[in-house]
Amino acid sequence: MKKLFLTLAAITFFAVPALADHTGKTHGPLHTITVKVEGMVCDFCARALEKVFYQREGVEGVDINLDEHVVKLDVTEGTVLPDEEITKLITDSGYNVSSITR
């Protein structure tokens, strides 16, 4: 019984932080959408896109790589985020989408 309790405690201890992102949100399984963006050359550009995507429900993580001009979106399972919507959010922010990979 003690062993079971310790095992459960250990799982809880390690699993909960793994499910929490830097905003403190906890979430279920995620899938990643990789978007290649033209014109994203500086932190101000990256910050603007980060703000836009974090406002979208279901987007739990935004990872930006300026060298590769890539925005990786971590989206909760079940969230529908079509290519058209991603493209619109990015073009409305002033940038162009060159590819979207799921």
Partner 1 sequence: MRFAALFTFLLLAPATAQARPVSWPGGWMLMLMNDLDSNAAQLNYTFTPRYAVGVQHEYFRDEKFNIDAMTFDALLKRWNMPDAQANLWLKSGAGIAYGSGNADPAAYAGLEIDWENRHLFTLYENRIFWADDHEKFVKHKARVGIAPYIGDYGDLHTWLMLQVDYDAGKHDTFSLTPMVRLFKGNTLVEAGYNLDGGILFNFTQQF
Interface residue with partner 1 among 31, 47, 88, 102 (CB under 8 A) is: 47
Judged by CB under 8 A, the chain residues 70 through 99 that form the site for partner 1 are 92-96, 98
5 versus 44: smaller Cβ distance to partner 1? 44
Q: Does 27 bind partner 1 (CB under 8 A)?
A: no
DSSP assignment letter at 24: S
Please give the Cα distance from 99 to 97 (Å, whole number).
Answer: 6
For residue 54, give the 3-state DSSP assignment: helix
**What are the strands, taking DSSP E only, across the chain?**
30-38, 59-65, 70-76, 96-101
Nearer to partner 1, 3 or 67 (CB): 67
Could you list the residues that contact partner 1 (CB under 8 A)? 38-48, 51-52, 64-67, 69, 92-96, 98
